[in-house]
Amino acid sequence: MRADVQEATARRFSSAAEDNLSATVDLDGFRHDFLEAHGFDVPGVDYDADVAFR
């Protein structure tokens, strides 16, 4: 990662606290990216649909 990106990331992490977390980091974006990387939260997938195994 570029040095300027690492510095900005370190600054954000060091200033993050429970009372300002939503303003400091993108929790919804992180959650989506994490879930999508593991096969969940994918647009167009009906996660409530019945699945039949054969």
Per-residue pLDDT for the chain (54 aa), expressed as one digit of tens each? 899 999 998 988 888 898 988 888 888 999 999 999 998 999 898 989 998 887
User: Is the residue at 42 inside a domain?
Assistant: no
User: What's the pLDDT at 1?
Assistant: 81
User: Is the residue at 29 inside a domain?
Assistant: yes
Looking at the structure of the chain, the number of domains it has is 1
Domain membership of residue 10 as a residue range: 3-37
User: Is the residue at 50 inside a domain?
Assistant: no
| Pairwise CA distance, residues 18 & 40, whole Å | 27
- For 3-54, the DSSP string reads HHHHHHHHHHHHH--GGGHHHHS-HHHHHHHHHHHTT-S-TT--TTS-----
Q: What is the pTM of this model?
A: 0.56
Query: Which residues 6+ apart lie within 8 Å of 46 measured at CB?
Result: none
User: Is the residue at 45 inside a domain?
Assistant: no
User: Is the residue at 52 inside a domain?
Assistant: no
User: Is the residue at 46 inside a domain?
Assistant: no
User: Is the residue at 8 inside a domain?
Assistant: yes
